[in-house]
């Protein structure tokens, strides 16, 4: 039986903790912006870059061997059990790497079209065999301008190779760090219109997912990529490793504790939640995009979780004095401890902040 008929988890807590050091000083949120360009947080950013480079150097080479079985999988997610090099030329240079795989550019040999390929080693002890097929099946089902498109899946003796759209504009996380370190402490991290356009695209994608019963469960800046380096680039949601289908009326609430500490919804920590958890995460992202640091944090995951469960956060005057009241209202309506009081995705899409800044500019792009 092919490996991808079983599951995988892409959680990388160490990387999350290092990366969040680039956004927020554990001692004080309101000094976070200045901390980005000097002191411990900037050092954490440099260490993270060095850590990434070392992982690139240590990443395994792609395997070119092919199994004697050339039959395609009969699972919902079609997998080619053969050599990816037969169809694609895979660039040996690594674009990015994590504990579970490395990402490279690949070119279709027939058309020359460029894609990204993530190669996951099957004997990695952290790889669990079930959810990869679930993730592939979900991606196969979805076609939306702000969701990463699955192009192909290959499996050989040692690796699973996932071919997707190539996004060359970087992570939203890195854009936040870059804008927060520009030096103007009075200016918003993202200009409101730019932030609203990104949030609109995320909401549009989440609306599409929720209509199909899919809950992402790990929406965060690291999982949002810019398609190009252009200022008005479209964004795409990636990494559906923790996603699942869920139908509240038929199944009752979800109870599995999954997600990333700074973005996890309080009801997920209480192990009784539904698709509204994605809207909480979007509220966190909107907050960070406008001021450069998260509303809930702590020195450890446990302290961060406790902060989330308390649900108390502030809009510090020095960081929010140039932000409109309607933007603040948008965030408040998403960061509701009671998920039944939180905006739905459709309500969020029709909120005045989104309508004012984003809808007219983005409808043509997404449709």
Active site residues: 218
Tell me how far CA of residue 87 lies from CA of 3, 66, 117, in angstroms.
21, 13, 12
Structural contact between residues 220 and 20, judged by C-beta atoms closer than 8 angstroms: no
Measured distance CA(109)–CA(126) in Å, rounded: 33
The helix/strand count (H/E) of the chain reads as 15, 9
Contact 39, 32 (CB under 8 A): no
Residue 322 has a CB neighbour count (10 Å cut-off) of 11
Q: Residue 202, exposed/middle/buried by CB under 10 A (0-12, 13-18, 19+)?
A: buried
Tell me whether residue 128 is annotated as binding. Answer: no
Q: Tell me the β-bridge partners of 244.
A: 215
The two structure tokens encoding residue 71 = 């039959």
φ, ψ (nearest 5 deg) of residue 339: -60, -25
Task: Determine the Cα–Cα distance for residues 127 and 100; give it in Å rounded to an integer.
Answer: 7
Residues that constitute the known binding site for ATP: 122
Residues that constitute the known binding site: 122
């Amino acid at each position: 039986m092919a490996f991808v008929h079983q599951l995988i988890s892409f959680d990388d807590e160490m990387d999350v903790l290092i990366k969040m050091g680039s956004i927020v000083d554990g001692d004080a949120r309101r000094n976070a912006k200045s901390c980005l360009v000097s002191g411990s947080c900037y050092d954490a950013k440099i260490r993270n870059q060095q850590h990434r480079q070392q992982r690139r150097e240590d990443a395994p080479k792609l395997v070119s061997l092919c199994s004697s079985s050339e039959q395609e999988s009969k699972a919902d997610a079609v997998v080619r059990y053969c050599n990816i090099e037969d169809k694609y030329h895979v660039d040996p240079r690594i674009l990015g790497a994590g504990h579970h795989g490395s990402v490279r550019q690949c070119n279709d040999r027939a058309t020359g079209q460029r894609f990204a390929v993530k190669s996951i080693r099957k004997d990695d002890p952290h790889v669990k065999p079930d959810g990869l097929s679930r993730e592939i099946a979900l991606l196969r089902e979805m076609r939306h301008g702000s969701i990463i498109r699955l192009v192909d899946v290959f499996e050989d003796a040692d690796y699973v190779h996932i071919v997707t759209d190539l996004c060359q504009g970087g992570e939203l996380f890195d854009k936040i760090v870059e804008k927060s370190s520009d030096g103007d402490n009075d200016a918003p991290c993202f200009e409101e219109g730019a932030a609203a356009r990104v949030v609109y695209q995320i909401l549009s994608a989440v609306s599409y997912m929720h209509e199909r019963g899919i809950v992402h469960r790990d929406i965060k800046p690291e999982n949002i990529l810019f398609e190009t380096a252009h200022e008005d680039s479209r964004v795409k949601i990636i990494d559906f490793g923790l996603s699942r289908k869920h139908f509240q009326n038929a199944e009752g609430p979800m109870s599995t504790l999954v997600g990333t500490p700074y973005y996890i919804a309080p009801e997920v920590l209480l192990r009784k939640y539904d698709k509204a958890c994605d809207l909480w995460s979007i509220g966190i992202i909107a907050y960070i995009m406008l001021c450069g640091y998260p509303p809930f944090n702590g020195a450890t995951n446990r302290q961060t979780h406790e902060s989330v469960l308390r649900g108390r956060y502030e809009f510090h005057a020095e960081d929010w004095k140039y932000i409109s009241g309607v933007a603040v209202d948008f965030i408040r309506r998403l960061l509701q401890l009671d998920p039944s009081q939180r905006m739905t995705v459709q309500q969020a899409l029709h909120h005045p902040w989104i309508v004012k800044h984003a809808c007219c500019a983005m409808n043509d792009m997404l449709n």
